[in-house]
Amino acid sequence: MIKNQKGFAMVLSLVLLLAMSLMGGALILIASGDHQGNNDSDQYQQTFYAAEMGLLDGEQYILNEKNGPWDASTNARNLAKSNLPEKNTTKFTGVMYAKNYSKKGKFDYRLTSTKKRSKKFLDTSDTCFKSFKDIDKDDFYVIKDDKNLNVARSMNVGVLLERSFASGGTNEEKLEATRMKKFYYEYFIERIGAANVQLVGSSIKTTATDASKNGLAYRVYSCGIYGEDGDKNKMIVSLESVVVVPKN
């Protein structure tokens, strides 16, 4: 009887130990999952911010063209070059025409001031273009610049920050800039056509004909992208906005 009790106690002890081990393992897995969830949430938030940067950059491009590009030599806008960008005659395939980085080029991802990892920039290709499901990709045109090139741009956020911090940034800011090199924003712009602009302090009658409409509408498509070359699961956030500018 005593032996049976001892045997039962030993089995019970093993069961409890196993249960505690399983609970401990479960807690570790839950904690690990929560940590990964927080990381994913942070990455999504940063990717969303990157997409918003793309919208702002695209909208600013339209306004700069409308008001005339800034001339650094005169500290004034060049009104002679003021224009409303036209639609290009070449179909847009989704490939970005301007970049501030070399696709698949190497960069240092700094963990600390003394530790770093070598990584490669993404080749985003037509990722952003394909993320907009409602676009007619077989018959789509974007606006052109003064060299008749498509206005479709890809910017690496870390490279932008690195250049901004080059002269006046702190060491921590410079380190953070290298970590932001896994974030990109891209944008391309479509000229929609004639639209009415309601100016403050004036009354403009809405009419049905394009000839009588006093503005032009553009749609800015923007993406925030997170990842590095070789990543299987990249993150992308797509946004769009409509900008209407007066013709005169």
Structure tokens at 161: 């920050």
The confidence score (pLDDT) of residue 200 equals 52
Pick from 147, 221, 225, 153: which is nearest to 189 by CA?
221
Q: What is the mean pLDDT of residues 162-187?
A: 91
- Residue 203 confidence (pLDDT) above 50: no
The confidence score (pLDDT) of residue 169 equals 85
Residue 204 — very low, low, confident or very high, per pLDDT cuts 50/70/90? very low
- Summary mean pLDDT of the chain: 83
The pLDDT > 70 percentage for the chain reads 78
The confidence score (pLDDT) of residue 21 equals 53
Q: How far apart are CA 67 and CA 215, in angstroms?
A: 14
Count how many Cα atoms sit within 13 Å of the Cα of residue 143 in the half-sphere of its side chain: 26
Three-state SS letters, the chain: CHHHHHHHHHHHHHHHHHHHHHHHHHHHHHHHHHHHHHHHHHHHHHHHHHHHHHHHHHHHHHHHHHHCCEECCCCEECHHHCCCCCECCCCCCCCCCEECCCCCCEEEEECCCCCEEEEECCCCCCHHHHCCCCCCCCCCCCEECCCCCECEEEEEHHHHHHHHHHHHCCHHHHHHHHHHHHEEEEEEEEEEEEECCCCCCCCCCCCCCHHHCCEEEEEEEEEEEECCCCCCCCEEEEEEEEEEEECC
How far separated are the first and last CA of the chain, in Å rounded?
Answer: 103
Residue 101 — very low, low, confident or very high, per pLDDT cuts 50/70/90? very high
Q: Tell which phi-psi region holds residue 127, choosing left (phi > 0), alpha (psi between -120 and 50) or beta.
A: alpha
Higher pLDDT, 1 or 54: 54
- Residue 104 confidence (pLDDT) above 80: yes
- Sequence-distant (≥ 6) Cβ neighbours of residue 80 within 8 angstroms: 68
Residue 242 — very low, low, confident or very high, per pLDDT cuts 50/70/90? very high
The confidence score (pLDDT) of residue 110 equals 85
- The CA angle 232-233-238, to the nearest 5 degrees, is 135
Pick from 222, 242, 248: which is nearest to 62 by CA?
242
Domain boundaries, the chain: 2-246
The confidence score (pLDDT) of residue 11 equals 47
- Residue 100 confidence (pLDDT) above 90: yes
The confidence score (pLDDT) of residue 13 equals 54
Q: How far apart are CA 123 and CA 167, in angstroms?
A: 29
Number of neighbouring beta carbons within 10 Å of residue 104: 12
Give the pLDDT confidence of 4-32 residue by residue, as tens digits: 454 445 544 555 555 555 555 454 444 44
Lowest mean pLDDT among 75-79, 150-154, 236-240: 75-79
- Residue 206 confidence (pLDDT) above 50: no
Give the pLDDT confidence of 39-87 residue by residue, as tens digits: 678 899 999 999 999 999 999 999 999 999 888 899 999 999 999 999 9
pTM for this predicted structure: 0.78
Q: What is the mean pLDDT of residues 187-191?
A: 99
Q: How far apart are CA 227 and CA 156, in angstroms?
A: 11
The confidence score (pLDDT) of residue 74 equals 92
